[in-house]
Amino acid sequence: MTDTRRALLVDAFTDTPLTGNAAGVVTDASGLETDQMQSIAAELGASETAFLSPSDEADRRVRYFTPSQEVDLCGHATIGSHALLAMEGQLDEGVHTLETNAGVLDIEIDDGTVWMTQNPPEIRELDDLDYGTVADALGVRESALTGLSADLPLARATTGLPFLVVPVEYLADLSEMDPDMGTIEALSEAHDCAGVYAFTFDTLDAESTLHARMFAPGAGVPEDPVTGTASGACGAYLDRFGALDPTPERMRFEQGHFMDRDGIVHVEASEATTEGLVRVGGEAVVALDGEVAVPEPESDDIIEA
């Protein structure tokens, strides 16, 4: 008999189906091998799929896979999977623990919003990175990136997954980017980053703090609609460099609008510099619910001609 597992697509950072960022969720990944999870993630085709299983260290364990590789942390798949569990009555309001490859994290359910506490931030200015190189990679004029450079440098920022953070002066420049994915992949690899997170304070909604785009072709995600891990890293970056002075208690990040997958990430990073606390939060909604056939595990046998 074919082994099947429940598999869903859950749209995170939105309350409207087919917007936000779609995450695959396999609610019971017990006994699955790494190659089986990778094959299922490729079949589902979401930018990341969360595979949930029991844990000896936390309330549950999760592993995240893009269509091409495993990653240590994923914000939208965490938000989506826990929103699903809360919707189905498997999680109560309050704080729960989650074992990830990046460590054990706190996840809070608060009146329909899922909050993910990320790791203490690590931020490093990239003084040796040339603006022209970054502009060429993003397909944008160099002056679009240098307008804010006096106060906000190019930097590598991580709260569990590292990103190259790139401030952009105007929304028009962000919208017109024509990225060279090969160059972005090389740039990310050179600085040990998962991808490039470009943002501007020029927003569509007056209530928003910033508008962002994120490119991670090296992880099999040319452009991600709405990125929780990168939003947390950027929130810590803003706090570190005093971009908003003082950092608001809660920020609102727009993303995905240029992909017709608009979503909103709530970010708390006002204590990131002193306390190491960064949280991202959002809502989620189920878009697809079904079953997936589990492939046979890959054989280690060597086939001889």
Please tell me the distance from the alpha carbon of residue 61 to that of residue 44, in angstroms, as a whole number: 20
Active-site residue, from 33, 48, 283, 298: 48
- Tokens 């240590």 locate to 72
- 125 given a catalytic annotation: no
Residues labelled catalytic: 48
